[in-house]
Structure 1
Amino acid sequence: MKGKKIIWGIIFVIAMLVIAGATCFIVLHFFSDNDSKEYIKPTAASQANMAENHNIDWNKLHEKNKDVYSWIYIPGTKVDYAVVQPPKGESDLFYLDKNLDKEYEFAGSIFSERMNKKDYSDPVTVLYGHNMLNGSMFATLHKFKQPKFFKKHKKMYVYQPNRRITYKIYSAYTYDDRHIMNSFDFSDGKILKQYQKSTLKPKALDKNVRKKTVLDANSKILTLSTCTSGASNTRYLVQGVLIKDERTN
């Protein structure tokens, strides 16, 4: 009897270790966060001035990874990250599960594909980020489903060395999972115009659109794309139109 109790005790301990290991894996797998905050220089600026003085340490960023070409920040959300684009020879999805050290990390990085120019001059630029359970990466974009939040938070910012681009957030909605850049030829004026109209009048039930937004042939749209919970065939999009492009110190 004592022998059986010892055996069952050993089995129980092993089972608990397996469960603990699995739990740890799940936590790391789904709650990992590619933290970019270490690249923001300490500053005495208030939160209200963060948009104007983001103090990004570009030298430190580029020492770590030369694929970093910009930074995105949205007040009221956790979106405050470096943006990368994979170099030639790598898959466009390289950073889907890679951090800034180019090491595997489920959270991946915020990234664009090579079909978009790095200077944000395309009619439509798309940035991708995971919908993480801990609210990191692009998860808090879903806050724009709330009409009050959407109404209050009107801007998002993209930074590059000596440059700040301000976008007015004008539309947020659930969309299908088509690849936007491959699905529309934005060099065709008619197609671009039709697409712009579709972003102003999306069919989604959870849509929020800022009234009196005007888009034309010269408009520069920034689209942020993330997954939706419980559906593999849809994406949640937050879109902004460029309203200010300025040099910074």
Structure 2
Amino acid sequence: MSRRSTTKKSPITKIIASIVAVAIVALGGFFIYKSFLAPSGDKQNDAKVTQEAPKQAYTASAEEKEYLANKFKGLLATNSETVGYVYIPGTQLDEPVVQTTDNATYLDKRFDGVNEPLMGAVFMDADNKKDFSDRLTWLFGHARGSKVADHRMFKDVNYFSRQEYFDAHPYVVIETPERKYYYEAVAMIIVPEETAFYRTSFDDDADFEKQLNIIYDTAEVKKPNVKVSAKDKYLVLSTCREEDDTIRANLYLRQIPDSEMSDFVKQHGESLQYKPTRE
């Protein structure tokens, strides 16, 4: 006889071998389940991914792009420092906007380049970005009033110190070569010429929001129940007061964010279309 045929396994060895075999089969079955069955159940629950909703971006329509291209072609041909156009529907405020390296040149220099005191042009603060992307953008312009025959420019800004006028003209439109921006009137304040509010940069959100709250809380004419936020962008139309050369009227406006643009344009777009008042 051979050695193999004469070797016999003990009962204990057989039991251990059976247990090991069962364990191997069970473990293998578990891995097979996890690999092939779990994707529709357990794995999905164990690997949940929270995705943020994509931020809405405003895209100008082909019609709007064509309109702006034609408009700014002529404006830039007249003045290469043109950065925008501002108008307030229902008023006489209807002006191109320029920007240069200082805040003095356009106090007397007209849009067409002619130097004429008390006329000048509407200009953006030299420290602002010309694409209106700053959290606070300043536009300056003479009110003119009775001192000159032409009463355009920013004279109508002064009328916003009356609540009924403020309420009747809630929106301001800014056009740029790339797109339109819409703003809602938030507050009108009268301040000294050298007010500390004339700033284009802030330490942080808290610093910016603090100033906005001071302005809103102290304004006698404003949109009710507004909660200012450092997350929003603002525009200020600033002009002089005819009754006192040492004070200024500042109209604060909140930019309609892109996330609200679709609904805003559907509701107000047609009524805010440009209608020229300049001769």
TM-score by length of structure 1 reads 0.69
Unaligned runs of 5+ in 1: 1-52
- State the superposition RMSD in angstroms: 2.4
The alpha-carbon deviation at position 167 of structure 1 amounts to: 0.3
Which residue of structure 2 aligns with residue 202 of structure 1?
218
Alignment of 1:41-190 (within 5 A): 57-86=71-100, 88=101, 91-106=102-117, 107-133=119-145, 134-178=150-194, 183=199, 185-190=201-206
TM-score by length of structure 2 reads 0.62
Unaligned runs of 5+ in 2: 1-66, 266-279
Pair 141,182 (structure 1): closer, same or farther in 2 beyond 3 Å = closer
Note if contact 1:185-1:191 (Cα within 8 Å) is conserved in structure 2: no
How much identity, in percent, do the aligned residues show? 26
Note if contact 2:99-2:126 (Cα within 8 Å) is conserved in structure 1: yes
SS class of match (2:190): strand
The one-character-per-residue Cα deviations of 1:113-161 (angstroms, maximum 9, x if unpaired) are: 2210111111111100001124311011111122211112110000012
The one-character-per-residue Cα deviations of 1:151-208 (angstroms, maximum 9, x if unpaired) are: 12110000012401000111112112126575574243332111110221125xxx21
Pair 55,140 (structure 1): closer, same or farther in 2 beyond 3 Å = farther
1:232 aligns with 2:248: no
The alpha-carbon deviation at position 227 of structure 1 amounts to: 0.4
Note if contact 2:68-2:179 (Cα within 8 Å) is conserved in structure 1: no
Using the alignment, how far apart are the partners of 1:68 and 1:191 within structure 2? 31
Question: Relative to total residues, which structure has the larger helix share, 1 or 2?
Answer: 2
Using the alignment, how far apart are the partners of 1:125 and 1:183 within structure 2? 9
Pair 138,241 (structure 1): closer, same or farther in 2 beyond 3 Å = same
Which residue of structure 1 aligns with residue 255 of structure 2?
242
Question: Relative to total residues, which structure has the larger strand share, 1 or 2?
Answer: 1
Using the alignment, how far apart are the partners of 1:103 and 1:160 within structure 2? 23
Note if contact 1:156-1:168 (Cα within 8 Å) is conserved in structure 2: yes
The one-character-per-residue Cα deviations of 1:78-99 (angstroms, maximum 9, x if unpaired) are: 111100001x4xx331111101
Note if contact 2:238-2:250 (Cα within 8 Å) is conserved in structure 1: yes
SS class of match (1:60): helix
Note if contact 1:167-1:244 (Cα within 8 Å) is conserved in structure 2: no
The one-character-per-residue Cα deviations of 1:187-246 (angstroms, maximum 9, x if unpaired) are: 43332111110221125xxx2110122221211110000001231221011110001456
Structure with greater Cα Rg: 2
Count of residues paired in the alignment: 190
Using the alignment, how far apart are the partners of 1:184 and 1:68 within structure 2? 20
Using the alignment, how far apart are the partners of 1:76 and 1:172 within structure 2? 18
Note if contact 1:174-1:234 (Cα within 8 Å) is conserved in structure 2: yes
Tell me which moved more, 187-196 or 230-239: 187-196
Which residue of structure 2 aligns with residue 23 of structure 1?
none
Using the alignment, how far apart are the partners of 1:84 and 1:181 within structure 2? 22
Pair 85,239 (structure 1): closer, same or farther in 2 beyond 3 Å = same
Note if contact 2:84-2:175 (Cα within 8 Å) is conserved in structure 1: yes
The one-character-per-residue Cα deviations of 1:61-80 (angstroms, maximum 9, x if unpaired) are: 11111100100011122111
